[in-house]
Structure 1
Amino acid sequence: MSSAEPAPSRVWRWDDFVLDTGRYELRHADGVIRVEPQVFDVLTQLVSNHERFVSKEELFDTVWGGRFVGEAALTSRIKAVRRALGDDGESQRYIRTVRGRGYQFVGTLHPEESAPPPALPEPEVPRQHIAFCRAADGIRLAYAMVGEGAPLVRAANWMTHLGYDIESPVWQHWVRDMSVQHTFIRYDERGCGLSDWEAGDFTFDDWVADLESVVEALGLERFPLLGVSQGGAVAVAYAARHPDRVSRLVLCGAYARGRAVRAMSDDEKRAAALDLELARVGWGRDDPAFRQVFAAQFLPDGTRTDWAAFDQLQRRTTSPENAVRFLEVFARIDVRDQACRVRCPTLILHSRDDHRVPMRYGEELATLIPDSRLVALASNNHLLTATEPAWQVFCDEVNGFLTS
């Protein structure tokens, strides 16, 4: 992600391509072309300076904010730009290499520039009621209710903050759309958000017990339960323990086995260990570079704005010490036995190219839970964004499942 000041919004057109910096989109006649934020920024710099070549130093300054990165990083972004445009290093139809100096956009831009699209209205911040209850061991838990209608409970997952989620681009659309037909109930797990951060040595069983405490505080008897990411494992364990309470189960980006449990190869074990090391070394630093690794895994197709919002979320939701403890417990999750005991109808949704939790772990859940249906979403993101088509598919599937 660039730390440079963003340029004014423009819309550039050439051949069948549209570069829309206001919407942060590269479009073709066939639709939106997904590119990483730095790839988009490189292309924007080249197109907006099409009358001249742009030096490598200028690209480093504008795209990487002057931070030291190797030349290989720039070369890989140029290759990605060419690939997105159907160009290559031989033909150089759109991106010309100025040997040893930089690059220049050489496509033929349309002479007229489209007016910038009208500004979209700011989404209305959902109104919510926040309350508190105590877990069995005395830990204070915060929970919130939004909307009207039958209850829909979301098992807590990592990186939430009830007071911030309703305006955060990471979670706002979840709260907004899940509360259209339901009273959407969510809570911050211990060690996170508005719940107590000083929570001792919490365990997976503590998280399941926290869900039990919130349900009891609200006096809920029977309700559908939603679990996202690691919250999916909590939801599975709760549904297995309380078959009389959970009417339907919805899982998204969920898994039965944590990274340490499912790691078989040396590479997988090293990747699991790297998660912990990144949190230990970099979570509390002002430099967002360490936290951006998590952003790239959770939202690989996110925009620069999405990544910045995710970074804000990480810093506001928990302490560096708790982040490490969360990851340690996540890695040891294993709810395969509980999944086999789930008796309610279950809908499992999983991004087809999820970078954080690969699709095969959603498939594993579907084989373990008896009455389940798996829906593959056309996304690379672990947490679905509001603007991607997969989000509307997710909402339609969930609404249809819960009202059927």
Structure 2
Amino acid sequence: MVGVADDGVRQVVRFCRSSDGVNIAYAVHGSGPPLVVDACWMSHLDFDWDSPIWRHYLVELGRIATVIRFDERGHGLSDRDVDDLGLERRVDDLAAVVDDAGLDRFAVLAMAQGGPVTLHYMARNPGRVTRLVCASTYAGGSGHVTEDDLALEEAFEALIRAGWDRKDPAFRRVFTSMMIPDATEEQMRWLDELHNKAVTAPTAYAARRARRDADASDLMARVDVPTLVLHSRDERMNDFEQARRLARGIPGARLVALESRNHILLEDEPAWPVFLREVTAFLAADRDAADPAGSPVTALLTERELDVLALAAEGRDNAAIADRMVLSPRTVERHLQNIYLKLGLTGTTARTAAVARFLTGR
């Protein structure tokens, strides 16, 4: 599945299978070093693509990185009928996405509820993540849950069960107004609709309850990569104290407070260019270290990918390559897509350009 927005930015949607057989949808767009976005509570890869509140994230991040984002199990384009929404499965889903995308090393943008998942993945897969950006997320297990907090959470869960699937968005608007209190009515209506499109009420309820138990507090001290923590100072979804805990707990982490009340930064608010500037500067080292235009293909591709490209350079089509390598044509196509991704190539000339890079050794 390929999506092309009005401004010409293109995303490719793919599917991979997690450890328990659940199909996870992920999308790739942009160019540069890989940046995996892990992952928002509510997402729909296709619906988000033209969103008035997400579009600026996607366009601008795609200018500085190859962005890989995915719909969590039970959400969006991923399998909906899912029983297990726990932390262990979510970590497996992240692993399935990055492996299917052919990523050896990559930066992660952990957003919203993605913090515990990312920290657990990093602990289990040392050396894979190059840099970590934590955006309005948390490690979990704050230890300061009051009776009022529990009562409020019970009220939220009751709202989900009673009103999430209703045509009238009044119940969903409670969550929308907490996430983007400074948004326009148009933006709020879009988020109201996303909530309904992204997930059903039973899954939204189960997912929210599962997230209450997700905790990676004991893993913060083990993070050994450069880390940037960005958080809206006055947002109401994840308290700013969560950012302080991350910055204190992760060795060498740098905290940037964003002057905003919005959980999702809006394009026209002053905090957005601060966020973008900080992330761009933070990822610059990865761009310098892995410039597809200046690095030889042998340094960027795996041995299997080089074998596929060598056969393509002989003029063989995908079926002939598959026959020679005893693979399925779909697997050959997946290898080629990963090659194009790593070399920063897009469009109808990507195959020709990749072969040219291979033949010249560049």
Under a length normalisation based on structure 2, what TM-score does the superposition of the two structures give? 0.75
Q: Which residue of 2 aligns with 1:356?
A: 237
Is 1:232–2:123 an aligned residue pair?
no
Matched with 2:169 is 288
Greater radius of gyration (CA):
1
SS in 1 for 2:181: coil
Cα offset for 1:231?
1.3
Runs of 4+, deviation exceeding 3 Å:
none
Counterpart in 2 of 1:321?
202
Give the match for residue 215 of structure 1. 98
Distance 1:223 1:382 in 2: 25
Q: Give the structure 2 partner of residue 75 of structure 1.
A: none
Q: Partner residue of 1:307?
A: 188
Paired position in structure 1 for 2:136: 253
Contact in 2 for aligned 1:272/1:331 (Cα 8 Å): no
Partner residue in 2 for 1:342: 223
**SS across alignment from 1:347:** strand
Preserved contact between residue 86 and residue 211 of structure 2 (Cα < 8 Å): no
The residue matched to 1:179 in structure 2 has which SS? helix
**In the TM superposition, what is the alpha-carbon distance from 1:233 to its structure 2 partner?**
2.2
One-letter amino acid of the counterpart of residue 239, structure 1: M
Is contact 1:243–1:344 with CA below 8 Å preserved after alignment? Answer: no
The CA distance in 2 between the partners of 1:377 and 1:274, in whole Å, is 29
Structure 2 counterpart SS, 1:154: strand
- Matched letter for residue 285 of structure 1: R
Q: In the alignment, is residue 193 of structure 1 matched against residue 76 of structure 2?
A: yes
Query: What is the SS of the residue equivalent to 2:64?
Result: coil
Task: State the identity as a percent.
Answer: 42
CA shift for structure 1 position 241:
2.1
- For 2:280 and 2:123, the matched residues in 1 are separated by 23
Residue in 1 aligned with 2:11? Answer: 128
SS at match of 1:219: coil
Q: Which has the higher contact order (CA 8 A, sep 6+)?
A: 2
* Residue number in structure 1 paired with 2:127: 244
Q: Partner of 2:309 in structure 1?
A: none
Looking at structure 1, the residues matched to 268 and 143 of structure 2 have their Cα atoms a distance apart, in angstroms, of 32
Superposition pairs for residues 359-398 of structure 1, below 5 Å? 359-398=240-279
Distance 1:131 1:172 in 2: 20
Deviation string 1:112-151 (CA, Å, 9 cap, x unpaired) is xxxxxxxxxx962631111111111111111111011211
Which has the larger displacement, 334-343 or 247-256? 334-343
Instruction: Look up the SS of the partner of 2:77 in the other structure.
Output: coil
Q: Considering only aligned residues, what root-mean-square deviation do their CA atoms show, in Å?
A: 1.5
The match for 1:277 is: 158
Closer/same/farther in 2, CA of residues 357 and 123 from structure 1, 3 Å limit: farther
* TM-aligned CA distance change 1:250 to 1:143, over 3 Å: same
Question: Deviations along 1:274-328, whole A, 9 cap, x unmatched?
Answer: 1211111110111211101101111111111111111011011111111001110
Deviation at 1:197, TM superposition (A): 0.5
Question: Are 1:156 and 2:39 an aligned pair?
Answer: yes
Give the Å deviation of 1:343: 1.1
Which protein is richer in helix relative to its size? 2
- Cα drift, residue 387 of structure 1: 1.4
